[in-house]
Structure 1
Amino acid sequence: MTTLHHPSHTPDTPLTLALPLDFTAFCELHHHHYQRYARTRITDPATAQHAVHAALGDIAMRWPHLLASPSPAACAWHLLKHRIRQHTTNPRDSGHNDDLADTALLHHTLHLTDTDIAHVTGTPLHTVRYQLHTTHHPPAPPEPQTPMPPPPGQA
């Protein structure tokens, strides 16, 4: 059960909403991480909080569909990122998903474990581990190509 206080209500008459228990549990598990992520992407704390609350509203409206999906956490993460993109001017946020950068941010800046990242984003753990490995060990530059000497007798 969630209690909301509307400005037109006095503290004696709160607006009480009955939300599904599984949705409430989802919010309890993810809200803190969502809020911290939003704060790294949106400089104004009130705007970051608004984006997270709007995303949780989007998630609530689609909750039955999210539960029927292969990864409710991945769907919810997508909705959160959509709301955050509405409040940012970073070109990285202009529409394409940069999952590798998000994984790096969640791990290196917010200090989430690989398992926590997988749970929050709905990304398979093996994918998160690969992404973290990639951020720690970027591919080596290609070796310079040296021309092969001509075969003997064809110089």
Structure 2
Amino acid sequence: MPSSPRPQTGPVGYTAFVQLHRRDYEMYAGARLGNSKLAMSVVAEVLRGAELNWTTLMLRENPLALTWRALRDSVTTARTEVHDSQADGLHRTLPDQPADAVLLREGLGMDTKAAAALMGMEEPELHMQFQVARRLLADLGHGR
């Protein structure tokens, strides 16, 4: 009995995942790094990791959140290659999730639903992270 051929583009669903998220991932990484070439490289590496672990990733409770964390961590690591002292000031000031919420909503102009989906969370959780960021920034005198 012949087996059905495996798609050349990777595991089922992976290609769609990349088509849906690559551009937003690159915008996020570029905004944090201030270097589009480095951002594209970081995103490509994260997506390669997701492809290699796709089956396992899909068995997890929230694969979008796991991939988002991998992206955020990879961008944070890559930040050491950027010599711009202005790069990633928001993430140097705030905890990860509130910083991401502000960057996606205000920096990249995403609506709450799109930003929450990208981060692998529900809208109320993203709204809460955004409010935490606003309070922390106000406390630091960076009113938003």
What is the TM-score of this pair, normalised by structure 2? Answer: 0.75
After TM superposition, what 4+ stretches of structure 1 lie above 3 angstroms from structure 2? 89-94, 133-136
Structure 1, gaps ≥5 residues long: 1-15, 142-155
Q: Which amino acid aligns with 1:50?
A: S
1:110 paired residue among 108, 111, 114:
108
Please list the CA deviations of residues 103-149 of structure 1 after superposition, one character each: whole Å capped at 9, or x if unmatched. Answer: 0110001011111111101122211111223445x2887xxxxxxxx
What is the TM-score of this pair, normalised by structure 1? Answer: 0.70
Structure 2, gaps ≥5 residues long: 1-6, 81-87, 140-144
Q: Which amino acid aligns with 1:57?
A: R
CA gap of 1:93–1:103, structure 2 versus 1, over 3 A, is closer
Say whether 1:28 aligns with 2:19.
yes
Counterpart residue number, 1:101 = 99
Contact kept? 1:118, 1:124, Cα under 8 Å: yes
Q: Which has the higher helix share?
A: 2
> Aligned residues: percent identity?
24
Please list the CA deviations of residues 62-115 of structure 1 after superposition, one character each: whole Å capped at 9, or x if unmatched. Answer: 111111111110011011112212210368868x95100110110001011111
Deviation of 1:43 after TM superposition, in Å, equals 2.1
Distance 2:91 2:8 in 1: 33
**DSSP 3-state at the match of 1:70:** coil
Distance 1:133 1:92 in 2: 14
Deviation of 1:50 after TM superposition, in Å, equals 0.3
RMSD over aligned Cα, in angstroms?
2.6
Contact kept? 1:92, 1:98, Cα under 8 Å: no
2:39 paired residue among 37, 48, 52:
48
**DSSP 3-state at the match of 2:78:** coil
Structure with bigger RCO (C-alpha 8 Å, 6+ apart): 2
User: How many residue pairs are counted as aligned between the two chains?
Assistant: 124
Q: Which amino acid aligns with 1:21?
A: V
**DSSP 3-state at the match of 1:112:** coil
